[in-house]
Chains A and B, each alone.
Chain A
């Protein structure tokens, strides 16, 4: 990690040692989508070394606020000032026609990234899918000679030398991020957690001095979280300015580092004490996944842990009074290949009517691959039986007709449809109460938590005998998590298979 920090600190530490300076100022920011006010006169400033934890309920505007600070979203009114020593660059909104047409003075993310040195990560990582992990990092290097086609043609040796130097540094950084040996893997073949680590490393590679991190711990296993939290500590110590939005489960980890908490509520930005928020949050998160499973099992129920190869644990909850009947899902010697890489091999388990199974597995284990293979979205070896009948040769839609429902962690929405249309498409007749307020909205206009609620409604609302969920708590606030847990209940023949990162709530499973 040291070389990453050095990369950052070459431009920041000198100023840090003198005084804490203001890097960005924003005032009276106002953002409105239709009749809905997202930000209502928000003002504040970011100083060097600030570690801000941005919190708020789903739909409160956290992502919109971050997008405005990174130059992705133009506020309806207000202003943003980027400060760098004596220089400053200010933007006032709404912008005039001339300002919009002037390509050299644009309110654009590339301008904010280069002039303001602001880096942003996205929910889910958003790696460049067809590039290798190594190229995902090196492409972020600022001022590359080879990104000018003339230099590439006229001075190929010089370009290659610079490229080799960057690649060597990136490989060393990948090792420290726990991604050694994966540098040549295609970015679309790595797990969500590994992709997130790549995204953080990539944004560090741009020499940013302000980091806007959107749920950087989401989907990471315990090891991945430890790596990222250690990195955040180092960045904080080096004087990096960080604004972080995090999932409710992971908030305690980042609140420990926060210098202040910004809370978005009814469009207003409230500044709160990090220690107080942390204490309150820990009280509200009074039970981990394990406790939740124990509650589900009840006094007379049982939890059976099956240890699978690769450090994964399949916890099967058999509730009160449920007798083992006919097996609903039988997975026999299942194996999955991704390209030339064996992702899963010899996975076998059986789920009986009424059981709830939770697969706790580390990043890269193949949780998503397992669910995709059972759903028919990935080719696999071995056998899969549903209600005693083999389904492993059936196509995905035929498996759905036989009663399989899958909630994917990624690529799970139709962004251009309205919520109502997406529910119709999923065959959900009665939308649940928690998504009624945004039935007529386009899915792409929803916040991360709202999208997750819609996806849950689409998959959970249809009749099925096997309900599979890949990281269903992602992007949800505390209320959302509670709703999902209440949604998952024992009932008749239905079986749940839920995939979660190992140690999601920071407690030992």
Chain B
């Protein structure tokens, strides 16, 4: 049972990430590869303020989301002037910058959480407390699964309200022809800032749940591989509608689990997992550009 609850928690976390990325990629046409960095911002913020300051889950998550929103300017301001391949390259630079911060903000002889050693570098932060909301402890895997599910549903409702609103329509219009949208008086720069801030804040929320559940965070959560995994989820599941990212997140969580029931050594299984992701992406690119359940074809 615990195994399925574990999968459920991961599905919820990655569904939040996929829904947030869908706002930027699927609705706004901004293919960002920096999302793992914002996921890690949420995770590290939760880890630091809960371990060092004893903050509860909600304020810690709120702070993580706020920091991620502000940090999203690094990506959204790039989108003011660049699009397409150049924007992807700039988001990659932001990804590298964030990873570098998490990895290198470290001094061996200083206590972690101090200005000299904020992230503990490659050793990461262990012993992160489980979520605590108004004194209510989420210690068991079942209770954390419930919390993750509630937050995922809340994010889903928010995304649904947003994408079905005139704001969601404006995102699609910008994606189709930004110049014409500007000619209609739409401040597309500001809208890009809004969408990236919302998407990055949601990624940070997912990162906080992850840190609270696993009780450990290190810079590997902010690698380019993770960003590519997030992008794979939405490309395989599909973008530009509500259900596509959910399908992608659940599928890419569930597919590697099949390997558990096949007699493959653990060392090989990790590589096979990457192979499966790559295979999914190639198959989708060839046979169904809009993804399994998506609406918008990324060409």
Q: Which residues of A approach B to under 8 Å, CB–CB?
A: 70, 72, 103, 108-110, 113-114, 119-120, 122, 126, 128-131, 135-136, 138-142, 144-149, 152-153, 156, 159, 163, 202-203, 206
Contact = CB atoms under 8 A, between A and B. Distances in A.
Interface in B151-177: 158, 161-162, 165-170, 172-173, 175-177
Interface stretch (B58-66, B186-194, B205-213): B186-194
A109 B183 CA distance: 5
Contacts of B184: 110, 113, 119, 139-140, 202-203, 206
B240 interface: yes
A113 to B, nearest CB: 4
Given A135-B169, A135-B172, A156-B161, 19 more contacts: A72-B183, A109-B183, A110-B185, A110-B187, A113-B182, A126-B180, A128-B177, A139-B169, A139-B173, A139-B184, A141-B166, A145-B166, A147-B170, A147-B191, A149-B162, A153-B162, A159-B166, A202-B184, A203-B183
Given A119-B183, A130-B176, A130-B240, A149 B194 contact: yes
B296 interface: yes
A149 B172 contact: no
A110 B173 CA distance: 14
B167 A149 contact: yes
A140 B194 CA distance: 19
A110 B180 contact: no
B214 interface: no
B179 interface: yes
A110 B186 CA distance: 6
A147 B166 contact: yes
Point out which of B165, B181, B186 has the most chain A C-beta atoms below 10 A from its C-beta.
Answer: B165
Point out which of B177, B183, B184, B198 has the most chain A C-beta atoms below 10 A from its C-beta.
Answer: B183
A224 B227 CA distance: 49
B161 A152 contact: yes
A70 B170 CA distance: 21
B183 A159 contact: no
B166 A128 contact: no
Nearest to B197: A149
B166 A146 contact: yes
A144 B184 CA distance: 12
Contact of A130 (B161, B172, B187): B172
A144 B166 CA distance: 8
Given A108-B182, A113-B184, A126-B177, A159 B172 contact: no
Contact of B183 (A70, A142, A147, A156): A70
B198 to A, nearest CB: 7
Point out which of B167, B184, B194, B296 has the most chain A C-beta atoms below 10 A from its C-beta.
Answer: B184
Contacts of B186: 110, 147
Contacts of A163: 166
Point out which of A114, A129, A139 has the most chain B C-beta atoms below 10 A from its C-beta.
Answer: A139
A129 B295 CA distance: 13
Nearest first, the 10 closest Cβ-Cβ pairs linking A and B are A146-B166, A152-B165, A113-B185, A128-B176, A114-B185, A109-B182, A128-B173, A146-B165, A110-B182, A109-B183
A139 B166 contact: yes
23 contacts: A70-B183, A109-B183, A113-B182, A113-B184, A113-B185, A119-B183, A128-B181, A129-B177, A130-B172, A130-B175, A130-B240, A131-B172, A131-B173, A131-B176, A135-B172, A138-B166, A141-B166, A147-B191, A149-B162, A149-B194, A163-B166, A203-B183, A203-B184
Given A128-B173, A202-B184, A203-B184, A72 B165 contact: no
Nearest to A163: B166
A187 to B, nearest CB: 8
Contacts of A206: 184-185
B167 A152 contact: yes
Given A131-B176, A149-B162, A120 B183 contact: yes
Given A103-B189, A140-B184, A149-B198, A109 B169 contact: no
Nearest to B189: A103
A109 B166 CA distance: 21
Contacts of B182: 108-110, 113
Contact of B179 (A109, A130, A131, A142): A109
Nearest to A203: B184
Nearest to B186: A110
Contacts of B169: 131, 135, 138-139
Contacts of A146: 165-167
A315 to B, nearest CB: 36
A463 B165 CA distance: 52
A141 B296 CA distance: 24
Contacts of A148: 167
B66 to A, nearest CB: 15
A12 to B, nearest CB: 17
Contacts of A203: 183-184
A120 B183 CA distance: 7
A156 B161 CA distance: 8
Contacts of A140: 184
Point out which of A114, A120, A146, A202 has the most chain B C-beta atoms below 10 A from its C-beta.
Answer: A146
